[in-house]
Amino acid sequence: MLGHIARRLGRMQHVSVGLKGVSLQQLLSKETHRHPQSSLETHRSISTVSLWPFSSQPRDFSQPNSSWSPEMRKVYDHYNALSFPDTENGEEKKGPWRKLPSYNRSIKYATGGIHLSKLIQAKARLFTRNVKEQGATFEYVVFVNKEEKRCVCVFQAGHLLEGAPGHVHGGAIATMIDTVTGTLAGFLSGPIMTANLSIDYRSPMPLDSVVLIHSSLDRIERRKTYITCKVTSTDESKLYTEATALFVSIGVGHLFGSRN
């Protein structure tokens, strides 16, 4: 849960906000986020407000690196060739896909829970990007298709994700499913939090596998966004995992601490 709050607050996917306490109210009013346009439009309109406190160009961890296998790189290149640039106004559109960036932490303005010390807050890192060694844990990149209301994640599972010998831990797969379905739900519905994940494990996934995580919108009912998900081999011939996910929209007031 809560891995996917405030997806559209800025181009930086990680720029989410404190759940309790003061946090971003000094920077952005509630009305700024209550944008009447579509999620994607809102996504862009706020992107001009840079909240990254260290640099205007934080590192995007979903760029190719030397740990990527040829299979990982091939699938990435395929979707990247069908993507339009992540620019302010989206000119030079090449295809229906859009690559989303991925960072390794939330903004330093986040206040977190009452039990959270300043020290821990400063050291906090996103769970899926918390190991520096490239290729050791989660290597992934998410492409979203706005028209079709779905996304696909290319995921390479590193050797530190072990469950049974030589195979990926169920919790690591759950983590990626939460991440990818939450990314799509947030992209379509704005600020959300995970309410339910139901995961069927169909087949063991060897370490070092490259898989596709397909997520599609099932339906939106008021505050509830339902997402379906399948994890397959890159040629889609083998099914590893199936899942459904339910996300609940949260008001920006919730994010800024007006409710617990």
For tokens 């690559």, what's the residue? 99
Nearer to its own copies (CB atom), residue 30 or residue 159 = 159
Tokens of 170: 């169920």
**Residue of the chain from 36, 53, 70, 165 that contacts its own copies (CB under 8 A):** 165
Q: What's the closest the beta carbon of residue 52 comes to its own copies, in angstroms?
A: 13
Tokens of 90: 């989206």
In the set 60, 77, 86, 178, the catalytic residue is 178
Residue 73, CA distances (Å) to 67, 85, 93, 172, 234 in order: 10, 18, 22, 21, 11
The amino acid at 231? V
Candidates 106, 107, 178, 108; CA nearest to 138 is: 178
Q: Provide the 10 A C-beta neighbour count for residue 219.
A: 9
Residue 48, CA distances (Å) to 10, 28, 43, 51, 52 in order: 7, 12, 10, 9, 11
In the region spanning residues 12 to 31, those forming contacts with its own copies, defined by CB under 8 A, are 16-20, 23
Interface map 225-244 toward its own copies (x if CB under 8 A):
----------------x---
Interface map 41-80 toward its own copies (x if CB under 8 A):
----------------------------------------
Interface with its own copies includes 156 (CB under 8 A)?
no
Nearer to its own copies (CB atom), residue 142 or residue 145 = 142
Q: Which helix (H) or strand (E) holds 220?
A: strand 210-221
Q: What's the closest the beta carbon of residue 188 comes to its own copies, in angstroms?
A: 18
Interface with its own copies includes 105 (CB under 8 A)?
yes
For tokens 């109210």, what's the residue? 25
Interface with its own copies includes 194 (CB under 8 A)?
yes
**Residue of the chain from 78, 208, 218, 234 that contacts its own copies (CB under 8 A):** 208
**Residue of the chain from 66, 115, 221, 235 that contacts its own copies (CB under 8 A):** 115
In the region spanning residues 119 to 148, those forming contacts with its own copies, defined by CB under 8 A, are 120-121, 123-128, 130-131, 136-137
HEC-encoded secondary structure of 56-112:
CCCCCCCCCCCCCCHHHHHHHHHHHHCECCCCCCCCCCCCCEEEECCCCCCCCCCCC
Nearer to its own copies (CB atom), residue 101 or residue 170 = 170
Interface with its own copies includes 5 (CB under 8 A)?
yes
* Residue 86 among the catalytic residues: no
Active site residues: 178
